[in-house]
Amino acid sequence: MPDLGGLTAIVQLFAAFLGAYLIAVWISLIIWTFRDVRERSRDIFVQLLSVLLVVIFNIPGLLLYFLLRPGETLAERYENELAEEALLQDIEEKQACPACQQKVQADFLYCPNCHTRLKRRCDNCHRITSLRWNICPYCGAPATDAATSPST
């Protein structure tokens, strides 16, 4: 006849380990949910509700949390907002005349409003260059006009 006392002890030990494992998984799910919801929302009520879903319902609560949680983290939302602002700034950023602040196009040599010289044309390659440059970046020719010559 088999020893039932030893078998019962093994089953009880196995049940204890299984119970401890399930409790550890449950606590891990609670901690993970708390950390995840803190990255996704600053609303204390949402954070509390999300953690309570997992505390009370365990894995079905985690599934509900996955369905209800915000789609992006606060950091992702911030990065997206920065990218949108940068795009809008690029679209809205227009060049302006330094003298009269009227909007001018990038290829204007002179301001049509106040006649201020904005850029110059290279004598060698005839491309438009900035007044601040002392050589043409396209062909390397030195600037020869009066705007870049040192005054005596």
Under DSSP, the state recorded for 84 is H
SS3 content of the chain, % helix, strand, coil (to 5): 55, 10, 40
Longest alpha-carbon distance in the chain: 118
Tell me the per-residue pLDDT of 67-95, one tens digit each, with 9 for 90 and over.
999 999 999 999 999 999 988 877 666 78
Average pLDDT over residues 112-121: 92
Taking each helix axis from N to C terminus, what angle separates 4-40 and 44-57, rounded to the nearest 10 degrees?
160
Q: Is the pLDDT of residue 150 over 60?
A: no
Domain positions in the chain: 4-75, 95-145
Contact 135, 142 (CB under 8 A): yes
